[in-house]
Amino acid sequence: MPSDHQNLFAFFEQDPEAADKVVFGRVSHADRRGFLRGAGLATMGAMLGAAIPFHRTMPAGLVPVAFARDEVLVGKDGLILLNDRPVNAETPPHLLNDAITPNDRFFVRNNGVVPENTSADGWQLTIDGMVDNPMTLTIPELRDQFEVVTLALVIECGGNGRAFFDPPASGNQWTYGAIGCAEFTGVRLRDVLQKAGIKDGVIYTAHEGADGHLSGDPDKKPISRGITIEKALTDNVLIAFAMNGTNLPVLNGAPLRLVVPGWPGSCSQKWLTRIWLRDVVHDGAKMTGTSYRVPNRPVAPGEEVADEDFEIIERMPVKSLITNPATGADLTDRRVPLRGHAYSGDRSIRNVDISIDFGATWMSAELDPPVNAGAWQNWRLEVTFPKAGYYEVWSRATDSAGEMQPFAIAWNPKGYLNNTMHRVGVRIA
């Protein structure tokens, strides 16, 4: 019998069917009458601090999300620090409850050292490569020469959800909070490139920033990624200089950054200094090898994959997030307003479904349209839990192409693109 939460996880990982039977008295998937009965159910209830009204529909081997534990980053409005060199911090889902993510709750994903000078005064952006008219522009010149727009846009790290991979994948162990939807103000990348004149044969952009390599070597770039020219010419890819009506925060790329909604956040170069056009797929830092790439076929967990069998991640998959209530919440009212967001790369969301009985039944949430292309969509649903006990709220989104969030992770060696259903555990008094 495991003695703590960590041992419980290990016990289930080794042999979930046997662990389920020993710990909770469950006989098998086929024998539903044996689910968590007698002392087993009492044991789990004691660990959760409440009974589980829907235990009969709880899948074998399922570990309640209430057993998860986080180390909270103190003094950062609840952000959880994952790494301090470079600085990476995620936002707990319940702090993403706003329709527009506030600056102080927007996640931080750095690859190198923040540049010493982040003043907008004198900052320059060079546009060159395969263009007819290479340009170097200051931020005031960007404002004066191009239409300034404000759009609500999602940025999500490609590794969001990596913490749930088994076997584990190396890298920052993001859970759910490497995402945000802020109102970015800037100019369209398309407008700037068209003024520079795009030469025939261009297929890719390349981006550079002012952040330094962790080694201190000035000749090395921490990250230099790019996007297809087709994506670069869409309406909502911005060169941004403001966020939620104020200057960009330093940790989010001040004074100038790219915002490429719907694609991995690594494409949204921070501390932007140069964009150049190429007639080949860009091969900058973290564009080659297996960086921000996934296998070109489904693979078994733990399977070795040759480098040549990886392909570059483009659009992000369909996903939903529960922002109210917070996981682990103790609620005194059985009638609870549920809220959250949903998003899917370059697509829109068709519907969001919610379950409170471990997926046995589903309810449709009220879903808002996106305020503009590239924004997440807000959803809500008020539910009445039937009686006191422990419940899990599950959410799954379906996008405009009919793709639905899965329950199981599609494993890959680098831990990218986890879009499994979000689970939140609550106790009703």
Domain 319-428 is found in CATH 1.20.210.10: no
Secondary element (H or E) of residue 90? strand 87-90
| pLDDT (mean) for 194-223 | 96
Name which of 291, 259, 331 is nearest 415 in CA terms.
291
Exposed e or buried b per residue across 136-166, where buried means at least 16 C-beta atoms within 10 angstroms of its C-beta: ebebeebeeebeebbbbbbbbbbbbbbbbbe
pLDDT at 75 over 70: no
pLDDT at 89 over 80: yes
pLDDT of 236-247, one tens digit each? 999 999 999 999
pLDDT at 60: 62
Q: How far apart are CA 409 and CA 164, in angstroms?
A: 8
| pLDDT (mean) for 399-417 | 97
Locate CATH 3.90.420.10 in the chain: 80-312
3-state secondary structure of 93: helix
pLDDT at 67: 57
Locate CATH 2.60.40.650 in the chain: 319-428
Using pLDDT thresholds of 50, 70 and 90, give the confidence band for residue 11: low
pLDDT at 44 over 60: no
Q: How far apart are CA 27 and CA 182, in angstroms?
A: 48
> Sheet containing 349-355: which strands, arranged edge to edge?
329-331, 422-428, 389-399, 349-355, 363-364
Q: Which CATH architecture has domain 80-312?
A: Alpha-Beta Complex (3.90)
Q: What are phi and psi of 111, to 5 degrees?
A: -110, -20
pLDDT at 243: 97
